[in-house]
Each structure stands twice: as structure tokens, then as C-alpha cells.
Amino acid sequence: MTTLARLAEAGYQLTSEATGASAEAQKAMIAKARKIAKIAAEHAGDVDAKSRFPHEAFEALKRERLLGIMIPAAHGGEQASHATIAEICSVLAQACASTGMIYAMHQIKASSLVVHCNDDPWHASFMARIAREQLLLASATTEGGGVGGDLRSSICGVVREGDDFTLDKEGCLISYGAQADAILITSRRTPEAPPSDQVMSVLTKDQYTLERSAAWDTMGMRGTCSDNFTFSGRAPAEQIIPVSFAEIAAQSMLPNAHLLWASVWYGIAAEAVARAEGFVRSEARKRPGSTPPSALRLAELLARLQQFKALVVAGLDRYERARGDADELSSMGFVVAMNSIKVVASQSVGEIVMQAFLICGIQGYRNDSPASLARLMRDALSAPIMINNDRILGNTSNLLAVYKHDPSLSR
């Protein structure tokens, strides 16, 4: 059963009135994603080996019009539910983790526009372009000069020049920056503003230049092409999102990033379990009438995967109930819950793949085996360092001095 179906059973009103797209339309989106996943799987090995962008999968995603599905119906999008988008992230990640992660990062950027910019003329028009032209969005929230991955601090600042602004940002890691159609980039509100007084701006490909300063040559997630760049752009000031980045981070980026990343990691874990299942069945066929010793360990692994699934579904449930309530989205309880989902999910994926290794043995270790888990493990190891877990736990620990944990099952 898909995440969409499970959430529907839990009481979601997946109708055009609630989400903009009917349950049938959303099921059709997931069906399209499953077909695209076959394309992604066919090229996943080459994407990984060459550390290249998964062009084939994203050409198919554009062709099937799955890049604009978060955009509201009022702006020409499908206005799909977060459950549907999470399911697509998972489906794609089961075939190619880099494809699933790029899709998730694109939708995270779209969420900032959807949540904060519906009433802003330029950004509403841009959302219509995303839906119409199937634009791919990237993010530039990191920076050199000691800021690194601390997205809540900037060195560079927006420089106003009449009706326009200019922005130069060095040392920013931009996933699939060379392939993106637009970049959402953070900076100080002005060059003189405090580092934490930030804004986010939207610049389209014709409004900026990128100078690569470091190439992406990593253990896993190689297809995300997360090179480092020096960014230099100029655009009309109306392209600066009208709310503070602090509000964007708390109300759209944080929950969408943690939930959609967790969905990608769940997809990696689910694929590892599927390969372990295939291995155990193969062993059982070799010895009719007896249960392979690895079957017991597989039963334990399936229980662990079910826990992972429940974590993601519960997080999606909580976010759906909090949407539209700015106080709840900014509350300490909500932040702690989303942070905890990220930490647990990022730890679980590696542990599940490792358990699958123990089941598959040498066949999981080999690169040329149908049960190979090598790429899945390398991709899974990226999870704890995407917004480092120690940084997240440090932020959470600061809240615990004043936050009292709610032990109920209802929140």
C-alpha cells in the first residue's frame, strides 16, 4: 500500500478541495513516477560511476510534468499533497538515490514559494512558470568564509541598485547548480545587516553566473553534482521573497527538508530490504522444505523497516495538521519533532542497509551481484552529514532547557 493510501485511511481528505488534486490524479502521479523509476534504475550505475546528473530521469520527469506538482492549482500546478510528493521521492530513490534526492531538493525549494509567496505578484507569476515550463529549482544556502553548512548565517548581503539588486556569494555548494533553471539563494538583508538577518531571493538562469571552485567527487550521492561555486547575480528587487529567511526556514524549509529527505532515505532502505528478500528467496529455492537461517534476520529487518515507515508517515501527518498555523510551525515542540525525524531517519537508513548486508553476505558486498548493496550503502552514508546530526542535536538540546516533552500519542 502506498503512503498516499495509508494516509487516506488515516482520515485525510484527499480531494480537490483539500489538496487541489483528486485521489485518482495523485495515484496517477505516483504511477508515472514508478515508470520513471525504471528509467532511473537503468542509468543509476552510470550516474554513480561518472558522478553525472541523471539526465534521463529528469527529462522523463519534465515530460510527465511531475516537477510542478506542489504548485497551487491557482497558479497552474497540480497542488499535490505532501504524502504524494513524499511517495514519489521514495519511489525514485528506490531506483536511484541521487534522482530521488534531487527531486526532493527541488520540491523543498518549491515549498518556500508555495507557503510564503502566494500573494506576491512576481513570485506567483514565477510559480506559474515552474508549472508551465517544468523548471528545476536549486538552492544556495551554504557559504565559504567559515559559514559552511550553517544555513542560518550569511556573510554576503544584497546590494540595492535602484530597482535592482546584486549579490555575490563565494564558496556555496549548489547541488545540480549547472543543470538548474533557477536558484533560491540566501544572503544578509543588506551588507551591513547581522549575519542572521537573512533574505532568500529567486534568480533565474539568465540572471546569474556560476564559477566552479570545487568538483563533487564523493563516496555516494554522486549524481547530485553538488559542486562548489562562486555565485554572481543581478535581478529586480521584486524577486527577493518578501518574508524573512528565518520564517521561511522554520515554516517551510525545515519540515519539508526533513520529511522529504527522510522519504528518500526510506526509499534507499526499502530497496536494500527488497534485495535482501530476493536473496533469501533464492536461498530457499536451493533447499526446498527448509527455511534459510537468514530468514529470521530478514524478519527482524522487515520490522525495522516498518518502524522507519511509521516515523515518516507520522511526520507527514503532523505537518499536514500544522500547515496554516504559523504559531505551531514555529513552536519548539514542532521543531523538536522535525529535528528528531531527521536524526532518526538518517541513522536508520545506514543501519538497515548494514543489516541487509549481513543477510546477503558476499553477494551484497560484490558490485556485480543482483543483491549488491554497495551503492545503496555509499548513498546512505550521506544521510547523517546532510545538515550534520551533531548540529541538529545541538540545536535541539538548546531548546530542551525550556521545552517540556509531550508524552501523548495524539501529537
- Check which CATH number belongs to the domain holding 387 and give it: 1.20.140.10
Q: Is residue 410 part of a domain?
A: no
Based on the fold, state whether residues 167 and 276 are members of the same structural domain: no
Based on the fold, state whether residues 168 and 48 are members of the same structural domain: no
Residue 13 is predicted with a pLDDT of 39
Q: How far apart are CA 379 and CA 350, in angstroms?
A: 9
Q: Is residue 106 part of a domain?
A: yes
User: Count of residues for the chain?
Assistant: 411
Residue 255 is predicted with a pLDDT of 94
Do residues 38 and 95 touch, judged by C-beta distance below 8 A? yes
Based on the fold, state whether residues 30 and 126 are members of the same structural domain: yes
Q: Hunting for cell 520529511 — which residue is that? A: 259
23-50 and 97-116 helices cross at what angle (nearest 10)?
130
Based on the fold, state whether residues 48 and 152 are members of the same structural domain: no
Pick the last residue of a domain from 85, 111, 135.
135
Pick the last residue of a domain from 96, 116, 135.
135
Q: Is residue 409 part of a domain?
A: no
Q: Is residue 49 part of a domain?
A: yes
SS3 148: strand
Q: For each successive 10 residues of the chain (411 residues), what is the average pLDDT?
A: 44 43 95 98 98 98 98 96 97 98 98 94 97 98 77 92 96 96 97 95 98 96 97 98 94 95 98 97 88 91 97 95 86 91 97 97 95 98 91 83 74 60
Q: Is residue 103 part of a domain?
A: yes
Based on the fold, state whether residues 169 and 230 are members of the same structural domain: yes
Q: How far apart are CA 350 and CA 283, in angstroms?
A: 24
Residue 391 is predicted with a pLDDT of 85
Bridge partners (DSSP) listed for residue 186? 200
> Domains in the chain: how many in total?
3
Q: In 3D, which of 210, 1, 10, 189 has the Cα closest to residue 90?
A: 1
Do residues 64 and 57 touch, judged by C-beta distance below 8 A? no
Based on the fold, state whether residues 373 and 256 are members of the same structural domain: yes
Phi, psi for residue 250 in degrees, rounded to 5: -75, -40
**Cell numbers found for residue 401:** 532547557
Q: For position 175, which CATH number holds?
A: 2.40.110.10
Prediction pTM value: 0.93
Residue 146 is predicted with a pLDDT of 62
Residue 89 makes CB contacts below 8 A (sequence gap 6+) with 100, 103, 104, 107, 260, 263, 264, 267
Domain limits at 232? 139-239
Residue 404 is predicted with a pLDDT of 72
Q: Is residue 370 part of a domain?
A: yes
The DSSP call for residue 237 is: G
Based on the fold, state whether residues 374 and 270 are members of the same structural domain: yes
Based on the fold, state whether residues 161 and 118 are members of the same structural domain: no
**Which run of H or E residues covers position 389?**
helix 389-399
Do residues 379 and 372 touch, judged by C-beta distance below 8 A? no
Do residues 129 and 76 touch, judged by C-beta distance below 8 A? no
Q: Hunting for cell 530497496 — which residue is that? A: 271
Q: How far apart are CA 411 and CA 409, in angstroms?
A: 6
Q: In 3D, which of 361, 321, 359 has the Cα closest to residue 337?
A: 321
Q: In 3D, which of 4, 343, 205, 295 has the Cα closest to residue 351?
A: 343
Based on the fold, state whether residues 189 and 70 are members of the same structural domain: no
Q: Is residue 368 part of a domain?
A: yes
Q: Is residue 8 part of a domain?
A: yes
Q: In 3D, which of 241, 246, 245 has the Cα closest to residue 124?
A: 241
Based on the fold, state whether residues 326 and 202 are members of the same structural domain: no
Radius of gyration of the chain (CA): 21
Residue 293 is predicted with a pLDDT of 85
Based on the fold, state whether residues 204 and 348 are members of the same structural domain: no
Based on the fold, state whether residues 387 and 286 are members of the same structural domain: yes
